């Protein structure tokens, strides 16, 4: 019966064979990261468990899916194993670019929270997370996602460590955080990811991020690189303009309030859970800076 089912012109059997082949190829790419075959095997089983159907993927559940008697192998892989996580990041990034790369792609920067209990998990603390919509005990991760007309996938990540962590050497040591790690704001982390992507020749034309990243050094980084950007800002963010078209200065909310009705256009940001997501947009030339001021490689 399963042979008769079709998905997009291919049978389920063919699709499963294709997925299995792709998974084997992915594991083959990861193999050089591990010096021992048994550790590489554990990494493969870890990946299988992450792709499984279990709603919660705890150490015990991953171990059960892998056929282990306990979570020790999984824990050793993540906590005590010696392998280069940044090298894994590079493998994933290169794979994504090879399949999804386009010159006009967008790099999307955002963060997410992982709800936690206790105080031992790296970077955990009471902080705001959009995942819960409130201040709660959680970890925060900053992520970079590559988006093109062919699809989207993560290409970079970094854990956010609050000052309560980076100022406590004993706590960092207990969580096996390298001694070279120091406090970095989320915008600084995002700027580092953008620089990393540029250094790796990742093709993209734009960076998009919310108001957390519309301040700090990320805008300067993008100006210097000649990359376009759409960064959110808070309503009290100050803008100054000496454009010949419409000189203006003030906070974002005040500038928006003074724009004429015909300056606004209603555009869709795509479909959401409640239908079309419509927003009112207005374009204002708020700056006209000379590229030489930023040592930029491109004019304008």
Share of the chain above pLDDT 90, in %: 50
Could you say which of 215, 231, 247 is where a domain stops? Answer: 231
Q: How far apart are CA 199 and CA 193, in angstroms?
A: 10
Token readout for 42 is 């554990």
Report the phi/psi class of residue 243: left, alpha or beta, with left for phi > 0 and alpha for psi in -120 to 50: beta
Say what angle helices 85-100 and 12-30 make with each other, to 10 degrees.
140
- At 290, the pLDDT band (50, 70, 90 cuts) reads low
Domain assignment present for residue 277? The answer is yes
DSSP H stretches of helix in the chain = 12-30, 37-50, 59-66, 72-75, 85-100, 163-166, 169-174, 186-199, 218-225, 252-258
**Residue 292 pLDDT > 70:** no
Exposed e or buried b per residue across 1-16, where buried means at least 16 C-beta atoms within 10 angstroms of its C-beta: eeeeeeeeeeeeeeee
Tokens found for residue 66: 């892998």
Question: In terms of pLDDT, which residue wins out, 144 or 211?
Answer: 144
240 close to 247: Cβ distance less than 8 angstroms: no
The answer to whether residues 270 and 183 belong to one domain is no
Distance of CA 257 to the CA centre of its chain: 33
Per-residue pLDDT at 214: 86
In a domain, 11, yes or no: no
Cα dihedral: 126, 128, 132, 137 (round 10):
-10
Q: What percent of the chain has a predicted confidence (pLDDT) above 70?
A: 90
Which of 183, 136, 142 lies closest to 162, judged by CA?
183
Residue 266 has what pLDDT? 96
- Whether 241 is in a domain gets the answer yes
- Domain carrying residue 115: 84-231
Stretch 86-107: mean pLDDT: 96
Number of separate helices (H) and strands (E) present in the chain: 10, 12
Measured distance CA(232)–CA(37) in Å, rounded: 46
Q: Which of 203, 231, 259 is the last residue of a domain?
A: 231
Please tell me whether residues 227 and 88 are part of one structural domain: yes
Decide: 131 and 110 in contact? Cβ < 8 Å: no
Domain-ending residue, one of 231, 247, 272: 231
Q: Please, what is the average pLDDT of the chain?
A: 86
Please, which pLDDT band fits residue 138 given cuts at 50, 70 and 90? very high
Question: Both 200 and 250 in a single domain?
Answer: no
Average pLDDT, integer, range 4-25:
77
Tell me how many domains the chain contains.
2
Whether the pLDDT of residue 294 is over 60: the answer is no
Give the residue with greater pLDDT, 95 vs 244.
Answer: 95
pLDDT at 288 over 80: no
What does the pLDDT look like over 189-237, one tens digit per residue? Answer: 999 999 999 999 999 999 999 999 987 788 888 988 889 999 999 999 8
pLDDT at 207: 96
Residues 232/210, Cβ–Cβ less than 8 Å: yes
For residue 139, pLDDT over 90 is answered with yes
| Domain-located, residue 43 | no
Pick from 157, 153, 158: nearest CA to 105? 153
Q: Which of 85-89, 207-211, 228-232, 270-274 has the lowest mean pLDDT?
A: 270-274
Alpha-carbon distance of 110 to 125, in angstroms, equals 19
Residue-wise burial string across 36-66, b where 16 or more C-beta atoms lie within 10 A, e elsewhere: eeebbbbbbbbeebeeeeeeeeebebbbbbb
Confidence bin at 300 (pLDDT 50/70/90): very low
pLDDT of residue 1: 39
Q: Which two tokens stand for residue 257?
A: 């309030």
Examine residue 17 and state whether it is found in any structural domain, yes or no: no
**Domain match, 93 and 137 both:** yes
Helix axes 59-66, 37-50, angle to 10 degrees: 110
């Amino acid at each position: 019966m399963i042979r008769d089912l079709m998905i997009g012109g291919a049978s389920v059997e063919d699709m499963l064979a294709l997925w299995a082949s792709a998974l084997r190829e992915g594991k083959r790419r990861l193999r050089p990261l591990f010096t021992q075959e048994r550790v590489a095997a554990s990494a493969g089983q870890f990946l299988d468990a992450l792709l499984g159907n279990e709603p919660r993927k705890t150490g015990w559940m991953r171990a059960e899916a892998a056929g282990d008697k306990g979570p020790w192998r999984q824990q050793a892989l993540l906590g005590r194993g010696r392998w280069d996580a940044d090298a894994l990041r590079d493998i994933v990034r290169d794979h994504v670019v090879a399949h999804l790369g386009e010159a006009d792609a967008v790099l999307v920067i955002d963060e997410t929270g992982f709800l936690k209990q206790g105080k031992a998990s790296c970077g955990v603390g009471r902080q705001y997370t959009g995942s819960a919509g409130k201040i709660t005990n959680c970890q925060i991760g900053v992520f970079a996602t590559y988006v093109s007309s062919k699809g989207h996938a993560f290409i970079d990540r970094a854990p956010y460590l609050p000052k309560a962590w980076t100022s406590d050497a004993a706590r960092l040591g207990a969580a096996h955080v390298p001694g070279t790690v120091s406090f970095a704001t989320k915008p600084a982390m995002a700027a580092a990811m953008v620089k990393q992507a540029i250094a790796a020749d990742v093709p993209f034309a734009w960076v998009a991020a919310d108001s957390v990243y519309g301040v700090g050094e990320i805008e300067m980084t993008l100006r210097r690189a000649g990359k376009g950007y759409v960064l959110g800002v808070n309503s009290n963010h100050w803008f100054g303009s000496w454009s010949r078209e419409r000189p203006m200065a003030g906070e974002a909310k005040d500038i928006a309030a003074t724009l004429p009705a015909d300056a606004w256009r209603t555009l869709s940001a795509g479909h959401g859970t409640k239908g079309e997501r419509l927003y009112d947009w207005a374009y204002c030339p708020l700056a006209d800076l000379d590229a030489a001021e930023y040592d930029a490689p491109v004019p304008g």
